[in-house]
Amino acid sequence: MDIKAHIRGIPDFPKPGILFYDISTLLRHGPAWRTAMARMAAQVAPYKPDILAGIESRGFLVAAPLALELGLGFVMLRKPRKLPGLTIGLNYALEYGTDRIEMQADAVPAGKRVVVLDDLLATGGTMSAGISLLRQAGAVVPCAACLIELSFLKGRERLDVPFEALVSYDA
């Protein structure tokens, strides 16, 4: 099955000149979504994760069903003040400004292998921050993965772990 055939490009969203890769068309096509999750499971399983972490918010849509597919737990990496209880966080630089990502302080026992997931890898800033936050919590991060990689933005180069993508776009 051609997964790219189920991902649509929306020009000029969220601003002029940007081509947005919309996964909602993939999500609503049951057979394509199941195939995508099975293929991602095959990519991620060799890294022997104990837990999967998803980056807010579309990363949750990838990590949660993939965790079910692999029989693993799932942790959320979220924007500030969205999680109950004690949290730990990391501020990171964006192209224009800064952002912050947080997780519950007790979400990952030290030494656990955690694969971090998102829907799309662009410049790599958020994924790199997710990896750093998990390490700050004591996790081992053997791999990062996404449904989509925008390879022309070279985000993979910002990551210091192996990276897996289901599909890639060169422009």
**Residues annotated as catalytic (active site), given as ranges:** 58, 95
Report which of 17, 60, 34, 48 is spatially closest to residue 166, judged by C-alpha positions. Answer: 34
Instruction: Kindly tell me the sign of the dihedral angle through the C-alpha atoms of 57, 59, 61, 65.
Output: negative
C-alpha atoms less than 13 angstroms from C-alpha of 97 in its C-beta half-sphere: 2
For residue 130 the two structure tokens come to: 């997710």
Helix H or strand E segment including 103:
strand 97-104
Distance (Å, rounded) from C-alpha 42 to C-alpha 57? 23
| Residue matched to tokens 């026992």 | 109
Distance (Å, rounded) from C-alpha 51 to C-alpha 100? 22
